[in-house]
Amino acid sequence: MAKDVLCEVNNCTFWANGNKCSADRIYVVSHTGDTAGNSKETDCQTFEANELS
């Protein structure tokens, strides 16, 4: 498992100082079925917009 998950989306509820992700779990999905050829074919479904941003 990853020790640190980095995130640059600072309007996400789970964004923390140092571009860290503070979510308990990360859920990533592929646009192309069960596999992806590159990161552009994926999305982080963990994202939740921060109401304060």
pLDDT in tens, 1-51: 778 999 999 999 999 999 999 999 999 999 999 999 999 999 999 999 998
What's the structural domain count of the chain?
1
pTM value is 0.80
Rounded to whole angstroms, the Cα distance separating 6 from 18 reads 8
Give me the domain span that covers residue 9: 1-53
Note whether 11 and 51 are within 8 A (CB): no
Q: What is the DSSP letter of 10?
A: T
DSSP state letter for 31: T
Model pLDDT, residue 35: 95
